[in-house]
């Protein structure tokens, strides 16, 4: 095989080399299961609101379940002006709600 001269040829050669190595590793793993890479471990799911400590903050899934609407509805309410739905705040990049705020909002928006 000729030596690659252009940057594109070198890039293609590097990709081909990495692909060949990956295929060899996969072939070896298929022949000997002890050499297989470990399965990725998923993060434990967040327990439902009913199983968390009293006063624990609610996630968007919890609020959607409590209000009987889709998660996407909660996000859409936050983009409306004026903002609709119970007041949320951010913890890092995540939205969280205080249970008492959600309960108060639900009480004021429930038809009797």
Whole-number percent of the chain with pLDDT over 70: 83
> Which of 1-10, 26-35, 95-104 has the least mean pLDDT?
26-35
pTM given for the model: 0.53
**pLDDT range class, residue 51, cuts 50, 70, 90:** low
The SS3 of residue 90 is strand
Residue 80: other Cβ atoms inside 10 A: 9
Q: Which domains does the chain have, with CATH numbers?
A: 1-41 (no CATH), 49-108 (1.10.1660)
Please report the pLDDT score of residue 31 as a whole number: 77
- The residue among 27 and 48 whose pLDDT is bigger is 27
């Amino acid at each position: 095989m000729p030596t690659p001269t252009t940057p594109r040829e070198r890039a293609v050669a590097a990709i081909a080399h990495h692909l060949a190595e990956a295929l060899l590793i996969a072939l070896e793993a298929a022949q000997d299961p002890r050499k297989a890479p470990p399965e990725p471990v998923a993060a434990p799911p967040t327990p439902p609101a009913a199983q968390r400590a009293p006063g624990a903050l609610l996630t968007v899934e919890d609020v959607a379940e409590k209000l009987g609407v889709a998660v996407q509805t909660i996000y859409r309410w936050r983009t409306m002006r004026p903002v609709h739905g119970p007041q949320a705040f951010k913890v890092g990049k995540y939205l969280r709600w205080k249970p008492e705020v959600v309960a108060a909002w639900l009480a004021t928006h429930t038809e009797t």
